[in-house]
Amino acid sequence: MQDVTDGAFWKLMHRYGGADVYWTEYFRVHAVSRPEKWIVASIEQNSTGRPVVAQMIGNEIPALIRAAKELQQLNVAAIDLNLGCPAPIVYKKCAGGGLLREPQRIDSILGALREAVSIKFTVKTRVGFASPSEFDALQPIFAKHSIDLLTVHARTVAQMYRLPVHYDLIRHAAETMKCPVCANGHVYSADQALEVLAQTKARGLMIGRGVIRSPWLFNQIRQRLRGEPVTFPTGREVLGYIEALWESQASFDAPEKVQCERMKKFMNYLGEGVPGDFLHRIRRSQARADFFGLCREFFDHDQPMRLEPVSGVVPAEPS
């Protein structure tokens, strides 16, 4: 996730059990692009012991081939192509989710990349640009190019992050594609993760915002898969996570106000799982003392917290 899933964030997730595999934020690829240094650094400094997939976004075939060849020299398990980013600045240039309007172009890009990538080559897609019915035409193109994994975020680009998630389309892909299919979209609890797995028949789950909100989710899903009861963090453990997030994101030369702003990006997701006016108030904090004073008010206790989305607490949509 842009501006979130760097090496420091993976390391923090790993302390709570972590994912089986991590994706980088996307490398922006165009005629004169060079792999972004900070994303390369995340890969080189990956201390989780778990594999990393390098994701690219772009639409120029020679540039994508060049970038894929460069990226596969790094210690990555796969090269992934983003066909889902819904940001207008991206899709208007016909990259990310914008490419879903041009299936023939996707066909050419996948053909060229499959030939250029000698390690695993994977695709992350939404189910269409304007309508989920577009997936019928897209899926045969993914099937044609012997990709190694298809991750389906089962919303359209036009939907951005709104519900519903079209899990039935993931199931269709899982039942008909030769490669494994990974389900993505709105996984926020262990119970619901198992429902999504059962409903979609996907081989795995990709989780985004749910683990910013609760890094315990990875292990809770593992507990549920083993048939064990799920354990929830106490308020103080949540406070410990927020403190660790601050430490992992802090840059010593940045003013506190800037650091608070950075933390609000994460709090926007965590706050969605906290009843009451935490999110509303944390968005107004300007200094470390205010920020943690408020966190202590809500989390300095030993009660378990589920951190599942609370109705009525609405986070800002990611751009």
Ligand X SMILES: Cc1cc2nc3c(=O)[nH]c(=O)nc-3n(C[C@H](O)[C@H](O)[C@H](O)COP(=O)(O)O)c2cc1C
Q: Which residue ranges make up the site for ligand X (CB under 6 A)?
A: 1-2, 4, 25-26, 55, 82, 84, 124, 153, 184-187, 207-210, 318
**Token duo for residue 250:** 């802090």
Choice between 4 and 119, CB closer to ligand X: 4
Residue whose Cβ sits closest to ligand X: 208
Provide, rounded to whole angstroms, the least separation between the CB of residue 61 and ligand X.
Answer: 20
Name residues whose C-beta falls within 8 Å of residue 319's C-beta, 6 or more positions apart in sequence.
87
* In contact, 17 and 222? CB cutoff 8 Å: yes
Name residues whose C-beta falls within 8 Å of residue 3's C-beta, 6 or more positions apart in sequence.
25, 265
Choice between 251 and 319, CB closer to ligand X: 319
Report which DSSP code applies to 265.
Answer: H
Provide, rounded to whole angstroms, the least separation between the CB of residue 96 and ligand X.
Answer: 8
| C-alpha span between 104 and 99 (Å, rounded) | 9
Choice between 55 and 72, CB closer to ligand X: 55
Provide, rounded to whole angstroms, the least separation between the CB of residue 170 and ligand X.
Answer: 12
Which 3 state secondary structure label does DSSP give 315? coil
Query: Which residue's structure tokens are 């089962």?
Result: 154
| C-alpha span between 70 and 117 (Å, rounded) | 10
Choice between 233 and 309, CB closer to ligand X: 309
Choice between 162 and 257, CB closer to ligand X: 162
**Token duo for residue 170:** 């993931």
Choice between 4 and 250, CB closer to ligand X: 4
Choice between 41 and 287, CB closer to ligand X: 41
Provide, rounded to whole angstroms, the least separation between the CB of residue 174 and ligand X.
Answer: 17
| C-alpha span between 117 and 132 (Å, rounded) | 29
Provide, rounded to whole angstroms, the least separation between the CB of residue 236 and ligand X.
Answer: 26
**Token duo for residue 44:** 């080189």
Q: Helix/strand/coil (H, E, C) string of 1-59?
A: CCCCCCHHHHHHHHHCCCCCCEECCCEECCCCCCCCHHHHHHHHCCCCCCCEEEEEECC
**Token duo for residue 308:** 């599942």
Provide, rounded to whole angstroms, the least separation between the CB of residue 303 and ligand X.
Answer: 26
Question: Residue 151: which of 113, 111, 192, 123 has the closest Cα?
Answer: 123
Provide, rounded to whole angstroms, the least separation between the CB of residue 78 and ligand X.
Answer: 13
